[in-house]
Amino acid sequence: MNWHNTSQTASHWHSDVDRVTCSLCPRHCRPRDGQTGFCKVRGPINGTMKTFNYGRSVAATEEVIETEAVNHFQPGARILSLGNVGCMMSCTFCQNWETSQIKHLDLSVVKNYKPEDVINLCLTHNIDIISWTYNDPVVWHEFVIDTSRLANRHGIRTLYKSAFYIEERPVEELIACIDIFSISLKSMNDDFYRKVTKGRLQPVLDRIEQVFHSGKHLELSQLVIPELNDNNEDFESTVRWITEKLGIHIPLHFVAFHPAYKYNHVGRTPIKTLERAHDLAIKSGIEHCYLGNVYKPNLNNTYCKKCNATLVTRYGLTAKVNNLTKDSHCTQCGHLSPIIEPYGTTNMETIDNTHKTQIQLTHFWQNDVKSAHINQTNNNEHALTTITVTPINGGRPLTRTLGNGLDRIIISKQNEADHGFTVAWDGNATFEILPVLDRAHFPVKSSTNGALINIATKNMSMPQVEALNEVH
């Protein structure tokens, strides 16, 4: 991959007599001149450490904050998700291996952004939170810092979703400009980290504590992987460390796994396993424990700790605030809840009934796939297309305008009755629907594991579209 011509000088490195050492993550790679470190996106040129992925990202996507295992900050908020390429780990079960592992990267999915581009996307589309996510933002450090500082000046919040294999000084920089941290603690077993992620446990724990003591908003998640970390001993170790080091107030998310990359011999995590982890956490004192990648009623609600009133109702990625004042007090008993800014930007907008549609595409939820990206494929930098998304048999419709650099939006199953959705639009646009296999997953066509990809264009005849929609 010849990105050296557009490389930028990296931060967090030092040189000695014969080699440059990277100090961004605990690996402290010392690649030779012209080579890269473990992440494959940083390396020295003529004795200066360079970053080769500055501004390199998969397509910016409008999602909701619950996508990032964040339940206590602006429930239902719209976010702009961006993910880069490369990673400081190499997890055998990686849910985004096609972008995190450079040798598998399809360059056609990579776009170039400047910090100003990201801010303009937020301002144009009225999105108040930027999420650094997908593969892992650690190896995108310089771009994350530059853009987050710019976001701060425009009143835009920033969210950092990471496995957090990173050193202390870079985290100090992040704490200064990141508002929300969602950290994936993969296991409390160092052997697990060494064998499965090619990393180590203690540096992750140290950095989590660093964020906790900073007072920044923090939520933790753990991907529950069959035959790797899905027994009670694993759950107990995680809960014990959290309660002893961070306290019982930190939200904990146990997240369902889908088979991916090199770990395909097992199925998805059974809901019963997640419920077992949840019950153990609650009995051990954790005040708020949630289940990720689960579409089932009453498993992810937030309840008042004093009177048990339902404060936030959740189904999958859909959240609805109930019984809360604007300053987060329970309307039933007055107790202060842990929800920050409960009535911030929401992920639902009423459908625009005046919008006259010319074409539509229908997608039906299938098996374990309960969310999808709607992607405009014939994107024109200045063209805007208004789409209306209407759930089939349940849920609230919404209206969005895509274009001007934002061509993807996530849609998810809203309730038990909802079994799909219809997308309708005007104009000469072409759309595809890409199944999202995991809420933190960025789908490219080759990663859908045979799941249906729906494609429609205004140039298709209505009988052709209807025939396509019948396949589900």
pLDDT per residue over 186-215, tens digit each?
Answer: 999 999 999 999 999 999 999 999 999 999
Q: What is the model's pLDDT at position 394?
A: 78
Give domain status of residue 151, yes or no. yes
Question: What burial letters (b/e) apply to 202-228, b meaning 16+ CB within 10 Å?
Answer: ebbbebbebbbebebbbbbbbbbbbeb
- Of the pLDDT bands very low, low, confident and very high (cuts 50, 70, 90), residue 18 is confident
Q: Are residues 63 and 44 both part of a single domain?
A: no
Q: Is 317 helix (H, G, I), strand (E, B) or coil?
A: coil
Q: What is the model's pLDDT at position 451?
A: 44
Residue pLDDT, tens place only, 378-434: 766 567 889 999 999 878 999 999 988 899 999 999 999 999 999 998 877 888 899
Instruction: Provide the phi-psi class of 40: left if phi over 0, else alpha when psi is between -120 and 50, else beta.
Output: left
CA-based Rg of the chain, rounded to a whole angstrom?
A: 22
The domain boundary, picked from 275, 300, 321, lies at 321
d(CA 197, CA 439): 20
In the chain, how many domains are there? 3
Q: Are residues 298 and 400 both part of a single domain?
A: no
What are the residues facing 361 on neighbouring strands?
423
Q: Are residues 24 and 100 both part of a single domain?
A: no
Q: Are residues 198 and 316 both part of a single domain?
A: yes
Give domain status of residue 184, yes or no. yes
* Whole-number average pLDDT of the chain: 87
Give domain status of residue 327, yes or no. no
Give domain status of residue 354, yes or no. no
Residue 183's domain is classified under what CATH number?
3.20.20.70
Give domain status of residue 341, yes or no. no
Q: Which helix (H) or strand (E) holds 240?
A: helix 232-245
Q: Are residues 181 and 218 both part of a single domain?
A: yes
Give domain status of residue 338, yes or no. no
Q: Are residues 259 and 150 both part of a single domain?
A: yes
- 3 pLDDT higher than 60: no
- 224 pLDDT higher than 60: yes
Give domain status of residue 349, yes or no. no
The domain boundary, picked from 51, 66, 90, lies at 51
Q: Are residues 284 and 173 both part of a single domain?
A: yes
- 92 pLDDT higher than 90: no
The domain boundary, picked from 321, 350, 375, lies at 321
Residue pLDDT, tens place only, 60-83: 999 999 999 999 999 999 999 998
How buried is 287 (Cβ within 10 angstroms: 0-12 exposed, 13-18 middle, 19+ buried)?
A: middle
Q: Is 51 helix (H, G, I), strand (E, B) or coil?
A: strand
Q: Are residues 167 and 259 both part of a single domain?
A: yes
Q: Are residues 158 and 250 both part of a single domain?
A: yes
Cβ-contact 424, 359 below 8 angstroms: yes
Q: Which domain holds residue 115?
A: 56-321
* Cα-Cα-Cα-Cα dihedral sign, residues 301, 413, 68, 116: negative
d(CA 137, CA 113): 15
Q: What percentage of the chain reaches a pLDDT higher than 90?
A: 65
Residue pLDDT, tens place only, 269-301: 999 999 999 999 999 999 999 999 999 999 999
Q: Are residues 106 and 139 both part of a single domain?
A: yes
Q: What is the model's pLDDT at position 463?
A: 34
Give domain status of residue 297, yes or no. yes
Q: Are residues 381 and 260 both part of a single domain?
A: no
Q: Are residues 40 and 27 both part of a single domain?
A: yes
